[in-house]
């Protein structure tokens, strides 16, 4: 299937952690990729690639790309990146031997796999890796750094939270973009929103920050960070008070509607305004607009979830369209991730361990704690003594960065990193293994922003000695003589296994068709509306509503978190910190190691409101220290009215000491969900001062 060492054009799809999953084509001359561009006739991405991917071939042929296995030079310190090259056979023998020795001494749970969405391809993201670690019996990683809390909140209402087709926003006449910076993080949806607006739609952004999307919207509602549930309760109060509740929809399609309305009736709008920073008239306008500007849709992604009570916030937003009956019309309802559609039809046929054989589970957000030997305040027995990292850069992306780095620096931790470049994490490895890029391997690409399934065909042979992660795990499984199903399956077989489904949404979609067409829309009926079309996956088939209560997170102004003694954290750290994905040429950490992808300022900046800056004697461009009990950073201040008093922001994803030296690793409701839930990055309190203070 691959066009290797030849000339021509090969179609594929972007692998990045992004809802858009753009279709692209690679032009190959003499076995070398010479051009990569978007494919014009893709129905959703329509030929446009984002600024980071437009230069993807620079990454493929980067002079600093890792092209041979490396091992740490004996006697060197972890973090120094002191390595020497060696061959693949020796590398596999070394890694297999060290993993086997660790298992023999401590048991299989001493091995921790650590991966995330460095690629979102269904094969290369972890299909073979999951089989390998399952056969080994390693500790199981909950990949809950982000995404899962949003799913849990919507699932509380819908069971399986399919949501509406994002392309149906074209038919909406009210569009609430709640906590999502669409122009930056979901750019290919913006033309759909603009088309709806050209036909009379009102676009409202609800966000604490004046984002580029908020600047382009018809209305920007700048609520206080973490007060989303309070605002939803205020809106429902107005809907109930003013006779805008769709009582028939509640009676026919939901349970718990009376409890929800009873939660909102005692709400005092003046108190809501004080809590949220949104005045009473705007709350009333928002309620009336969403109820009467039909079809009315709410678009959410995952930014809102990064809080201790993020699940409750997403539950609240999932309930609001039921109160108004917004689901009745095509173009109305809740528009969130489309991942559930693909998850229902694309599954690995190899079974996983169950029952007594199920290994222990840890949340990836707690990596610093785990590497220190505890989890959920309990000792880990056995401790983690071996760690295998792929598709991830935990030294940069994981909260409580200083604790993570301390764990990675342990002399008794054997760390393997599969990578394309020398990331912050790879610098701490004992062994670094070179990984292929997206144009060098096959993969099957789903999307969490549309309903098109794409095939990524390899356009060139792997550069240097790079190997797909799948091949590395196949070789390790053989070297360790692991006894597990499917450990020798090649990548094309893995694609075929995923497509071998009897689900109606996949009828007629197979590898041969994808090879010809490049992408195919799932057979989800046009205009499919989950609650109206029988897709509510609760036990009784009704949307679950129920009581709703606003509770600020512990690490927010007004929260219950305490610092030294009994003092509230906000007494010492009065500012909320948001870590934002805001740089067009890198949103996560994938490209921030490349100077060519840096923004003009060339360094991370701390945005601070003029009121807070003046109170601290800080001027635009000053170097400041931002700090809390987890860490301290020196950065340059950007005094800006894009943020509001009491809020500061820093970009996510910069390599080196970054915003995650400060961020909160707490997961939502760790007791109730057994450690499930996304990290509360945005429930972080800090103080700032001049760097010379």
Non-local CB neighbours of 40 within 8 Å, separated by 6+ positions: 46, 47
- For the segment 170-182, what is each residue's pLDDT rounded down to a tens digit? 999 999 999 999 9
And the tokens for 617? 């004697």
Distance CA 461, CA 458 (A): 8
Report whether pLDDT(109) > 60.
yes
- What pLDDT, on the 0 to 100 scale, is given for residue 515? 95
Mean pLDDT of 251-261: 98
Query: Is residue 198 classed exposed, middle or buried when 0-12, 13-18 and 19+ CB atoms within 10 A define those classes?
Result: exposed
- Beta-carbon contacts of 693 under 8 Å, excluding residues fewer than 6 positions away, are 625
- Whether 516 shows a pLDDT value over 70: the answer reads yes
CB 230 within 8 A of CB 550: yes
Work out the pLDDT band at 5, boundaries 50, 70, 90: very low
Collapsing DSSP to helix, strand or coil, 375 comes out as strand
Region 375-385 average pLDDT: 94
Quick one: which H or E segment has residue 58? helix 56-60
In whole angstroms, what is the distance from residue 463 CA to residue 434 CA?
10
- The DSSP code sequence of 278-308 is --HHHHHHHHHHHHHSSSEEEE--SGGG-ST
Measured CA to CA in angstroms, residue 152 lies from 148, 157, 548, 575, 645 at distances of 6, 9, 15, 28, 31
What secondary structure, in 3-state letters, does 598-658 show?
CCCCCCCEEEECHHHHHHCCCCCCCEEEEECCCCEEEEEEEECCCCCCCEEEEECCCCCCC
633 touches 661 (CB < 8 A): yes
Range 218-235 average pLDDT: 97
Averaged pLDDT, 286-309: 95
Minimum mean pLDDT among 475-484, 488-497, 514-523, 579-588: which range? 579-588
pLDDT reported for residue 567 = 61
> Which residue has tokens 């972007």?
14
DSSP secondary structure letter of residue 100: H
User: In angstroms, rounded to a whole number, what is the distance separating the alpha carbons of residues 239 and 264?
Assistant: 10
Residue-level pLDDT at 1: 44
What is the reported pLDDT for 560?
Answer: 65
Please report which confidence band the pLDDT of residue 669 belongs to, taking 50, 70 and 90 as the band edges. low
Predicted TM-score (pTM) of the model is 0.94
Say if residues 368 and 630 touch (Cβ distance below 8 Å): no
How high is the pLDDT of residue 145? 85
- Report the distance separating Cα 385 and Cα 76, nearest Å: 19
Q: What percent of the chain shows pLDDT beyond 70?
A: 94
- pLDDT at position 208 is 97
What DSSP string describes 110-168?
A: GEEEEE-SS---TTTTTHHHHHHHHHHTPPEEE--SSSHHHHHHHHHHHSS-----GGG
Residue 253 tokens, joined: 């399609």
More confident residue, 357 or 33: 33
Asked if pLDDT for residue 358 goes beyond 80, the answer is no
pLDDT digits (tens, 9 = 90+) for 592-646: 777 777 677 778 899 999 999 999 999 999 999 999 999 999 999 999 999 999 9
> Could you report the per-residue pLDDT of 51-100, keeping only the tens digit for each?
889 999 999 999 999 999 999 999 999 999 999 999 999 999 999 999 99
pLDDT computed for residue 654 by the predictor? 80
Tens-digit pLDDT profile for residues 430-479: 999 999 999 999 999 999 999 999 999 999 999 999 999 999 999 999 99
Q: Are 685 and 152 in contact (CB under 8 A)?
A: no
User: In 10 A of CB 135, how many CB atoms?
Assistant: 20
Residue 144: pLDDT band with limits 50, 70, 90: confident
Q: What is the mean pLDDT of residues 99-112?
A: 97
Residue 563 has pLDDT above 70, yes or no: no
| pLDDT attached to residue 663 | 94
- Token readout for 507 is 């009828």
For the chain, what is the mean pLDDT? 93
Closest CA to 21 of 449, 584, 498, 499: 449
Hey, what domains does the chain have and what are their CATH numbers?
70-145+343-451+465-488 (3.40.50.740), 148-336 (3.40.228.10), 569-690 (2.40.40.20)
Read off the pLDDT of residues 181-213 as tens digits, 9 standing for 90 and up.
999 999 999 999 999 999 999 999 999 999 999
């Amino acid at each position: 299937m691959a066009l290797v060492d030849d000339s021509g054009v090969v179609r594929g799809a972007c692998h990045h952690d992004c809802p858009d999953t753009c279709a692209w084509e690679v032009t190959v001359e003499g076995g070398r990729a010479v051009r990569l561009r978007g494919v014009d006739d893709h129905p959703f991405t329509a030929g446009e690639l984002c600024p980071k991917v437009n230069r993807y071939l620079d990454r493929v042929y980067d002079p600093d790309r890792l092209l041979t296995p490396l091992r740490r030079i004996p006697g060197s310190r972890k973090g120094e990146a002191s390595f020497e090259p060696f061959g693949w056979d020796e590398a596999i023998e070394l890694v297999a031997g060290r993993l086997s020795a660790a298992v023999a001494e401590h048991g299989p749970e001493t091995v921790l796999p650590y991966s995330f969405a460095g690629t979102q391809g269904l094969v290369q993201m972890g299909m073979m890796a999951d089989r390998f670690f399952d056969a080994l019996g390693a500790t199981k990683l909950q990949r809950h750094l982000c995404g899962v809390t949003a799913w849990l909140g919507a699932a509380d209402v819908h069971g399986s939270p399919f949501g509406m087709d994002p392309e149906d926003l074209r038919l909406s006449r009210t569009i609430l973009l709640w906590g999502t910076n669409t122009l930056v993080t979901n750019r290919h949806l913006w033309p759909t929103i603009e088309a709806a607006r050209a036909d009379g739609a009102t676009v409202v952004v609800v966000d604490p920050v004046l984002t580029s999307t908020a600047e382009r919207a018809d209305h920007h509602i700048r609520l206080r960070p973490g007060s989303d549930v309070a605002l939803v309760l205020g809106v429902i109060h107005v809907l109930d008070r003013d006779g805008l509740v769709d009582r028939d929809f509640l009676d026919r399609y939901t349970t718990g509607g009376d409890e929800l309305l009873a939660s909102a009736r005692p709400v005092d709008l003046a108190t809501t305004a004080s809590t949220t920073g949104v005045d009473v008239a705007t709350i009333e306008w928002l309620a009336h607009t969403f109820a009467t500007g039909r079809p009315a849709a709410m678009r959410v992604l995952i930014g809102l979830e990064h809080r201790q009570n993020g699940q409750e916030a997403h539950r609240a937003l999932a309930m609001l369209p039921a109160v108004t009956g917004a689901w009745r019309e095509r173009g109305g309802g809740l528009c969130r991730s489309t991942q559930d559609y693909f998850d229902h039809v694309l599954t690995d046929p190899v079974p996983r361990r169950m029952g007594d054989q199920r290994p222990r589970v840890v949340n990836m957000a707690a990596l610093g704690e785990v590497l220190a030997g505890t989890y959920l305040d309990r000792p880990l027995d056995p401790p983690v003594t071996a760690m295998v990292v792929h598709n991830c850069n935990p030294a940069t992306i994981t909260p409580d960065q200083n604790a993570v780095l301390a764990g990675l620096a342990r002399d008794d931790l054997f760390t393997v990193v599969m990578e394309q470049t020398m990331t912050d994490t790879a610098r701490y490895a004992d062994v670094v293994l070179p990984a292929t890029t997206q144009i060098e391997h096959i993969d099957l690409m789903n999307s969490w922003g549309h309903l098109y399934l794409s095939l990524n065909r390899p356009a060139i042979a792997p550069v240097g000695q790079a190997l797909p992660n799948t091949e590395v795990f196949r070789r390790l499984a053989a070297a360790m003589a692991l006894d597990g199903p499917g450990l020798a399956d090649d990548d094309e077989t893995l694609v075929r296994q995923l497509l071998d489904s009897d689900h109606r949404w996949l009828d007629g979609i197979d590898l041969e068709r994808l090879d010809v067409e490049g992408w195919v829309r799932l057979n989800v009926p046009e205009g499919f509306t989950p609650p109206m079309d029988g897709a509510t996956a609760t036990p009784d088939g009704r949307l679950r509503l129920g009581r709703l209560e606003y509770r600020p997170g512990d690490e927010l102004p007004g929260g219950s978190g305490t610092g030294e003694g009994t003092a509230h954290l906000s007494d010492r750290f009065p500012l909320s910190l948001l870590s934002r994905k805001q740089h067009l040429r890198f949103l996560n950490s994938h490209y921030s190691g490349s100077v060519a992808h840096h923004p003009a300022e060339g360094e991370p900046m701390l945005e601070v409101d003029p009121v807070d800056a003046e109170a601290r004697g800080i001027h635009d461009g000053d170097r400041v220290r931002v700090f809390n009990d987890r860490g301290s950073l020196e950065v340059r201040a950007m005094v800006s009215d894009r943020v509001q008093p009491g809020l500061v922001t820093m970009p996510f994803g910069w390599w080196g000491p970054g915003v995650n030296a400060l961020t909160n690793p707490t997961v939502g409701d760790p007791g109730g969900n057994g450690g499930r839930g996304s990290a509360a990055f945005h429930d972080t309190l800090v103080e700032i001062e001049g760097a010379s203070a």
